[in-house]
């Protein structure tokens, strides 16, 4: 069993600026105007992003992989609903997700800060 404390932080993110009708505002060149906002991020969001950005040809396929992803998502949902916010994963599910993260984590995520720290904590989680 692996237990990982869910870290939460805010970071700057961008999104299209919208007019009152909900349509993107364009600048004089016809490009979308972006606005900066504070996005709330956590360990689960970072791990989900790692799965989403992994090239499809590098992700496992088949029913066993489907079951593993299903169990991982259930663990994510349970952790986010838990007041203590601890992600608990069976060793096999942890190792499955760890292999995906190890092969796909962008190197620029290692530049420091909460995202870097949370990925390092996940990758180094000890069995209990």
Q: How many CA atoms lie within 13 A of 77 on its CB side?
A: 6
Residue 54 lies in a domain: yes
Residues 6+ apart with CB under 8 A from 89: 1, 2, 4, 72, 75, 97
Query: Does residue 84 surpass a pLDDT of 90?
Result: no
Residue 20 lies in a domain: no
Residue 36's pLDDT band, with cuts at 50, 70 and 90, is: very high
Full residue range of the structural domain in which residue 72 is found: 2-9+41-123
Instruction: Count CB-CB contacts under 10 A for residue 54.
Output: 16
Residue 69 lies in a domain: yes
* pTM for the full predicted model: 0.80
Residue 32 lies in a domain: no
Count of domains observed in the chain: 1
pLDDT score at 82: 84
Residue 12's pLDDT band, with cuts at 50, 70 and 90, is: confident
């Amino acid at each position: 069993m692996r237990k990982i404390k869910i870290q939460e932080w805010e970071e700057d993110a961008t999104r299209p600026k919208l007019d009152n009708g909900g349509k993107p505002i364009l600048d004089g060149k016809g490009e979308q105007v972006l606005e900066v906002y504070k996005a709330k991020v956590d360990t689960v969001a970072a791990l989900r992003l790692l799965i989403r950005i992994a090239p499809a040809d590098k992700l496992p396929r088949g029913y066993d992989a489907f079951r593993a992803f299903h169990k991982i998502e259930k663990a994510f949902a349970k952790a986010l609903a838990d007041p203590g916010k601890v992600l608990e994963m069976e060793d096999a599910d942890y190792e499955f997700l760890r292999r995906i993260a190890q092969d796909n984590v962008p190197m620029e995520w290692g530049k420091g800060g909460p995202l870097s720290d949370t990925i390092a904590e996940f990758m180094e989680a000890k069995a209990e």
